């Protein structure tokens, strides 16, 4: 007897063994673990007359190699069948997913407004969480026509969903002719909705945000970028304080529209600088809306960063007055404002004040897969926040796989990493727990230095 491979516990096939007893044939024992066959033992059994045991002859090297190859080939065939089965199941899942997407596209022209909105939401979720370039490229005109129809004939939430879907469509297609055609079709409708004071306010809010990012992705003419920025200026300048310090009465919904327009205008500043509003933007710091105050502060910091990049000796005329305003907002303790709003405002304006006074930025590291990206400027922060608003929880996936977004953040081509490498890079749950505990302690110590506890106590 010659043992070629031994592993695990033997499982004997009785019928095969009985056949070997009477046929003087080669017999093999298969050895299995809980999940898979790990080895086998080959015997050459030679029985004498009458079934009496004569002698056991070991295999020669040639016979052993032939038998081993025979059995190994049988195992490889089984494994290849299993691999093909896995690929087949993946292909089936992909086909099923695409079938659902086709159903969503068809449902965008349904008579029921509820059905159309559900289809738009389904497409939004798919585009936010997966890369569907090939699928969308073949159907971009159909999807664009559906978005156009929903924007024109839909109301409220349907228009809002269509505007968001238009932005995700441009993100999927990236910067190129295809996304330019999408924007060329939808931009006139976007601008009409923005300028129409009788249109649904939620639709106008969504369009103000979507038009900004679509322009960043797809617009190639700098004059058209300036024209779009003027549309945003016509909205958020209505929140400016008058020269006598009074404000026009604005309801919260309209104030949110102006805030979205300001943020989109600031986003386009990252590719088309314009400093003419730097002297006027401080008027928005006195707005009653905390979101408007924060957006104005971040935009001022962005403008200072861009101005200093162009001219290291840049000086602002009303610098002392501006710093006093920013410092007051960074230590705001007005009792008529909500505590949560004040905390959020103080945190942002501490960073804004540092940016204006020292040109400093509180950097942040984003982890995705095995890569890291550092948000080290106000330009990057505004761009990252704009993409994240639409992609949401799928942002890390798009940072890994979306070539356009990787190009925007200068991450290079997507990394090709197999599953085995990813599995090897993962740490155990216990190690992750220790790391999180240490990070929590360090974060608590760091934050305790910057918390204005005395100001919070003085509020009561």
Q: What residues contact 327, with CB distance under 8 A and at least 6 apart? A: 353
Question: Domain 98-220 falls in which CATH fold?
Answer: 1.25.10
Half-sphere exposure of 424 (CA within 13 A, CB side): 5
Kindly report whether the global pTM for this prediction surpasses the value 0.85.
Answer: no
* 97 HSE (CA, 13 A, CB side): 15
Q: Which residue has the tokens 């004498």?
A: 48
Please give the span between the terminal C-alpha atoms of the chain, in angstroms, as a whole number: 90
pLDDT (tens place) for every residue of the chain, 460 residues total:
444 444 444 444 444 434 443 344 444 444 334 334 444 444 444 444 344 444 444 444 444 444 443 444 443 444 444 445 555 777 888 889 999 999 999 999 999 999 999 999 999 999 999 999 999 999 999 999 999 999 999 998 999 999 999 999 999 999 999 999 999 999 999 999 999 999 999 999 999 999 999 999 999 899 999 999 999 999 999 888 776 667 778 899 999 999 999 999 999 999 987 767 788 899 899 888 999 999 999 999 999 999 999 888 888 888 889 999 999 999 887 767 777 888 888 999 999 999 999 988 989 999 988 899 999 999 999 999 999 999 999 999 999 999 999 999 999 988 865 555 545 556 677 777 788 888 888 888 877 766 655 444 444 3
Residue 297 CA to residue 199 CA, distance in Å, equals 29
Q: Do the Cβ atoms of 100 and 125 come closer than 8 Å?
A: no
Tell me the residue ranges of DSSP E strands in 345-457.
Answer: 364-368, 371-375
Domain boundaries, the chain: 98-220, 225-359
């Amino acid at each position: 007897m010659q043992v070629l491979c031994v592993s695990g516990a033997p499982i004997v096939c009785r019928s095969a063994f009985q056949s070997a007893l009477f046929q003087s044939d080669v017999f093999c024992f298969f050895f299995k673990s809980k999940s898979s066959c790990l080895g086998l033992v080959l015997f050459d059994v030679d029985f004498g007359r009458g079934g009496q045991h004569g002698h056991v002859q070991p295999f020669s090297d040639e016979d052993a190699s032939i038998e081993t190859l025979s059995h190994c080939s049988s195992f490889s065939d089984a494994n290849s069948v299993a691999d093909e089965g896995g690929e087949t199941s993946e292909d089936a899942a992909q086909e099923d997913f695409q079938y659902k997407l086709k159903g969503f596209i068809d449902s965008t022209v349904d008579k029921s407004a509820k059905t159309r909105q559900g289809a738009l939401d389904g497409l939004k979720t798919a585009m936010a969480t997966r890369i569907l370039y090939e699928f969308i490229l073949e159907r971009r005109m159909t999807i664009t026509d559906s978005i156009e129809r929903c924007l024109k004939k839909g109301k409220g939430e349907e228009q809002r969903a269509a505007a968001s879907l238009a932005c995700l469509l441009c993100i999927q297609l990236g910067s190129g002719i295809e996304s330019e055609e999408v924007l060329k079709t939808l931009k006139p409708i976007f601008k009409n909705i923005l300028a129409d004071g009788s249109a649904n306010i939620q639709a106008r809010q969504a369009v103000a945000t979507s038009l900004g990012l679509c322009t960043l992705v797809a617009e190639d003419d700098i004059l058209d970028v300036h024209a779009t920025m003027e549309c945003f200026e016509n909205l958020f300048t209505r929140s400016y304080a008058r020269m006598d310090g009074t404000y026009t009465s604005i309801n919260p919904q309209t104030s949110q529209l102006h805030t979205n327009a300001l943020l989109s205008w600031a986003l386009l500043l990252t590719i088309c600088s314009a400093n003419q509003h730097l002297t006027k933007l401080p008027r928005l710091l006195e707005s009653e809306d905390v979101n408007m105050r924060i957006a104005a502060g971040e935009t001022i910091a962005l403008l200072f960063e861009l101005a200093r990049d162009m001219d290291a000796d840049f000086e602002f005329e009303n610098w002392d007055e501006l710093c006093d305003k920013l410092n007051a907002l960074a230590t705001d303790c007005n009792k008529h404002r909500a505590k949560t709003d004040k905390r959020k405002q103080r945190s942002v304006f501490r960073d804004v004040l540092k940016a204006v006074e020292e040109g400093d930025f509180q950097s942040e590291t984003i982890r995705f897969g095995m890569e890291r990206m550092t948000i080290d400027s106000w330009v990057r922060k505004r761009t990252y926040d704009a993409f994240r608003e639409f992609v949401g929880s799928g942002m890390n996936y798009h940072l890994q796989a979306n070539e356009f977004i990787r190009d925007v953040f200068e991450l290079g081509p997507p990394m090709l990493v197999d599953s085995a490498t990813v599995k090897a890079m993962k740490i155990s749950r216990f190690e992750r727990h220790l790391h999180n505990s240490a990070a929590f302690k360090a974060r608590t110590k760091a934050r305790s230095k910057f918390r204005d506890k005395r100001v919070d106590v003085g509020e009561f």
